[in-house]
Structure 1
Amino acid sequence: MTSPELTRARDLLGHLVSEPEATIEDFRRLYEQVLANFEVPSDGKVEAVDADGVPSYWVSAPGAADDQAILLVHGGGFCMGSAKGYKEFGYRISKASGARVLVVDYRLAPENPFPAPMDDVVSAYRWARQQPGIRNVAIVGDSAGGNLVVAALVKLREDGDVAPNAAVACSPLVDLAGEGASLTERAHLDPLPAAALVEAMGGAYLAGKDPKETPLASPLYADLQGLPPIRVLTGTDEGLHDDSIRLVEKLREAGVDVELEIGENMIHIWPLFNFLPQAQESTDRFGAFLQKHLADSPAQV
């Protein structure tokens, strides 16, 4: 039986596709309406910063360590979403991990297609690494943000940067070819028309590029060797379920330390919905994962 909280979360996701003729601007407005349900508690500390040209917010819960940082990369199909709307999620991640969270406002497609959003994430990460007193940095993202997290890990490895200490990808969209069987097999469970959104918004991000020939845009097809520890979350009731399953399989084949959490009856990006008990439980678990890897790693500069 579906709980009232889960019904509310499903309704909020459904709100994203409540206007059949929606334009990109309409989708952006609808997503901000969803995100407006989540407010940073009064004890949260929020500071707007310029992370090497990427507008961002430092968000801290009480007691967060000044020397540990987590980059938070919002979802929204590469075309919508904002750092402003994700500040509350950043607060909960800060509380669960004991670290400061840098919520980044990367440029959006279609105005700024690949590689602009990924480049912004990489730039913000490098900026965070260089801040005085920062010893270790992890990175978290959901949906398209999960794509950008995995892609950024690959890009940073390719460029010879110090790797993030750990990463979390919630319901990541990593196959822009849209070949996951769950896109059709679980479509009846998902409040979102995931296959159509992957085609439309993934297409806007790719701007004509072949996803299998552009692995930094569609990182399921990337070389994943040598990446830091990753925790991947997916729900049973989402069309993108198989993106996570296939990503974890590839990570394991590549020898990466990877953990998988499958949320029973959970929908796309369920940790975002702060009123959902399962959301807080999942956030606490991946917060502990991040805290462990930030604390266990030697300071990296």
Structure 2
Amino acid sequence: MPSIKSHLYKVGLLWMKAKRKGRPFTLQEGRLWLEKAGRKFPVPPSTSITPVSAQGVPCEWIDTPLSNTHKVTLFFHGGAYAAGSLHSHRGLASRLARATGSRVLSVDYRLAPEHPFPAAISDTVTAYQWLLKQCNASQIALAGDSAGGGLVLATLLKLKEDQLELPTAGVLICPWLDLTSQNPNLDKLASRDPILYKSGLHRAAQMYAKKQDLKNPYISPLFGNLSGLPPLLVQVGALDMISVDGIALANRLKEMNERVQFEQWKNMVHVWHFLGDKLPEATQAMERIGQFVNTHWH
């Protein structure tokens, strides 16, 4: 049963959205809001942050007292490909390190519209290749939230195409996988979603794709060849309009007899994990991620 805190957060978010009267954030407002939100949910105590360049891509190592130096979770932050940073998602990434018992390498990939597709996926693939020089693929898991979840799947498709050894598992948190936003069920959920706007998704998709086909599988990986991927965990919130993407992915993988663990969380909003230790369901979802990843380390 959803917690009282989850209801309070939902009501608060709906109130803030109502005040905006259907107007999504501008690009600069969205960037600023995400950075401010990140500061409200800081890293747990005894977390170590170390900047590093992964073959020219800015990243940072996140270690907790529980981190096994032989296990790495490569993390891609969310923000609709146009917002978010190492700073905004440092709290989420550090709780991911704690839950998985691994080191996290958080990637500061380039953002649209200044750096449209394929800049982001070029950076994530480069970071993975850099990691492969230091550890085996069986010691690496990929994880990401929202657009970062889409980047996890797109990166896996690109690694497979380039015939690179694939990581041991992937975690997709409320992933944005279909930038066309044409799923009819998305419209049904839009009025209930306390965070996202369909018009905002459309604008972000156009900034990222920059006149390229939105069905390009490296832009919308739901349209890619999904065979031969490592085991995936897909978590979505029932109040999140882009939960339709995670549902569609899980259904397709199950039809293909591919390995997928799908979880739909009642009364949860887009990337509720962000709320960290202040929300019981965020803690529980992170624990589920940790359990999943730890069954696939070699």
Same fold (TM over 0.5): yes
Corresponding residue number in structure 2 for 1:288: 291
Deviations 1:51-76 (A, max 9, x none): 11111111111121101000111000
Matching of residue 110 in structure 1 with residue 77 in structure 2? no
Corresponding residue number in structure 1 for 2:32: 29
TM-score (structure 1 length as normaliser): 0.91
Corresponding residue number in structure 1 for 2:254: 252
| Aligned pair partner of 1:137 in 125, 132, 140 | 140
**Structure 2 stretches of 5 or more lacking a match?**
none
CA distance in 2, matches of 1:254, 1:139: 21
Give percent identity, aligned residues only.
Answer: 35
* 1:46-85 paired onto structure 2 within 5 Å: 46-85=49-88
Aligned-partner residue type, residue 110 of structure 1: P
* 1:51-200 paired onto structure 2 within 5 Å: 51-131=54-134, 136-200=139-203
Change (3 A) 1:232 1:132: closer
Corresponding residue number in structure 2 for 1:226: 228
Do 2:34 and 2:83's aligned partners in 1 also have CA atoms closer than 8 Å? yes
Between the two proteins, the alignment pairs up a number of residues equal to 294
CA distance in 1, matches of 2:261, 2:232: 6
Corresponding residue number in structure 1 for 2:271: 269
CA-atom RMSD, angstroms?
2.1
TM-score (structure 2 length as normaliser): 0.92
CA distance in 2, matches of 1:68, 1:58: 12
CA distance in 1, matches of 2:261, 2:14: 26
Deviations 1:72-110 (A, max 9, x none): 110000000011221111211111111100111000001
| Secondary structure class of the residue paired with 1:67 | strand
CA distance in 1, matches of 2:127, 2:15: 31
1:16 deviates by 8.5
Do 2:137 and 2:167's aligned partners in 1 also have CA atoms closer than 8 Å? no
CA distance in 1, matches of 2:202, 2:292: 33
| Aligned pair partner of 2:282 in 275, 279, 282 | 279
CA distance in 1, matches of 2:113, 2:132: 29
Do 1:46 and 1:59's aligned partners in 2 also have CA atoms closer than 8 Å? yes
Change (3 A) 1:14 1:113: farther
**Structure 1 stretches of 5 or more lacking a match?**
none
Deviations 1:216-249 (A, max 9, x none): 1101100011100000011111111211111112
| Aligned pair partner of 2:239 in 225, 237, 244 | 237
